[in-house]
Amino acid sequence: MPTRALVIGGLVLGCIYGVFMGLYGATRPDTSSFLQLLATTLKVPLLFLLTLCVTFPSLYVFSALAGSRLKFEQTLRLLLAAVAINLALLASLGPVVGFFTLSTQSYPFMIVLNVIMLGFSGLWGLIFLRRALVHVFAPKEPDAPVTLDIAVDGSDIAPVEGPVKGQEGSSDDGSADVTVPLVGAPAIPILPGASPYARSLRRDRPEEPGLLVFRGWLVVYGVVGAQMGWVLRPFIGSPDLPFTWFREREGNFLQGLFDAIASLFS
């Protein structure tokens, strides 16, 4: 799928959920506002777009530093795909939100419901991303020698490679031949399961740092996304306040969520 299709598809899906989310503002008894419906329709895709804009540059820089095999375009497309899945699920939850909007007057309930919907679909997007990443960073086909980039003297001596047949099925994951060519040193063949070094090599997998960067990024993405939602509020539109495109800078996402939950119980 081309990158542009991913972006446009994502934006459309975001708008669909935005319509259902903004429905509350449009159907409030006293202060109904179609502007709120319009604002929310535009803000939901914007929320995802801006979150990606904020978090993507550093993700790319750190994954490249950590030795990720993914190129710029590939990294971007992977994330766009994850966001598109997130938005597809979110859009499909739209009718549920619409149903509750028409059957509920409680504003705090709508806040909590929307946070749950966004959180739930976001989690799915991240699960997809994680699965894709494990696939991307998984060791390649078992016959490929694992190259440890240890330059002993910093000179340009070509790596010496000497694949050695391993005993098939002797290791847990069925990988067969592992050769560690040391630059500037004779190749050290390692039979899987034969030496403790081979085991430790497989356990800390040399290509893991890239995966680690992505894992850390998932947390950052979640935090920025939640706070971005707070910065872009109002999405639903409080029944006591007139329509505004944006609210004052104050508080943060967690504070707002706890307030909504607290007022549900009071």
Partner 1 sequence: MSLIATTNDLLRTRHPERLVESLPTRQLILLLIVAGFAYGAIMGSYTLRPLQALFSGTKVPILLTASSIVCLPSFFVINTLLGLRDDFPVVFRALISTQLTMAIVLVSLAPFTAFAYLSVEDYNFAKVFNGIMFLVASLAGHVQLGRVYEPLIQRDPRHRIGRRAWLTLYIVVTIQLAWMLRPFVGAPGMPTAFFRDGVWDNAYVVVINEVWNLFTR
Q: With CB under 8 A as the rule, give the number of residues binding partner 1.
A: 26
206 Cβ contact list (under 8 Å, min separation 6): 146, 148
Residue 214 to residue 69: CA distance in whole angstroms: 13
Q: Should residue 217 be labelled a site residue for partner 1 when binding is judged by CB under 8 A?
A: no
Q: Should residue 61 be labelled a site residue for partner 1 when binding is judged by CB under 8 A?
A: yes
CA angle 225, 227, 231 (to 5 degrees): 115
Q: Least distance (Å) from partner 1 to the CB of residue 59?
A: 8
Are residues 21 and 38 in contact, defined by beta-carbon separation less than 8 angstroms?
Answer: no
C-beta closer to partner 1: residue 128 or 230: 230
Q: Should residue 216 be labelled a site residue for partner 1 when binding is judged by CB under 8 A?
A: no
Candidates 19-27, 85-93, 116-124, 245-253; binding stretch for partner 1 (CB under 8 A): 245-253
Token pair recorded at residue 219: 């947390």
Residue choice 5, 12, 65, 144 for contact with partner 1 (CB under 8 A): 65
Q: Least distance (Å) from partner 1 to the CB of residue 54?
A: 4
Residue choice 1, 12, 53, 123 for contact with partner 1 (CB under 8 A): 53
Residue choice 2, 29, 57, 186 for contact with partner 1 (CB under 8 A): 57
What are phi and psi for residue 178, nearest 5 degrees?
Answer: -130, 120
Residue 33 to residue 171: CA distance in whole angstroms: 65
Residue 173 to residue 178: CA distance in whole angstroms: 13
C-beta closer to partner 1: residue 135 or 249: 249
Residue choice 27, 31, 33, 227 for contact with partner 1 (CB under 8 A): 227
Q: At which residue do the structure tokens 């430790």 appear?
A: 200
Are residues 257 and 108 in contact, defined by beta-carbon separation less than 8 angstroms?
Answer: no
Candidates 51-59, 99-107, 108-116, 197-205; binding stretch for partner 1 (CB under 8 A): 51-59
What stretch of H or E contains 189?
strand 188-190
**Among 63, 62, 15, 6, which Cα is nearest to 40's?**
15
What binding mask, one character per residue, do residues 2-41 give for partner 1 by CB under 8 A, x or -? Answer: ----------------------------------------
Candidates 15-23, 75-83, 108-116, 147-155; binding stretch for partner 1 (CB under 8 A): 147-155
Task: Please give the C-alpha separations between residue 2 and each of 51, 69, 119, 169, in angstroms, as whole numbers.
Answer: 21, 20, 27, 41
Residue choice 30, 141, 153, 204 for contact with partner 1 (CB under 8 A): 153
Q: Which residues bind partner 1 (CB under 8 A)?
A: 53-55, 57-58, 60-62, 64-65, 67, 72, 149-154, 224, 227-228, 230-231, 249-250, 252
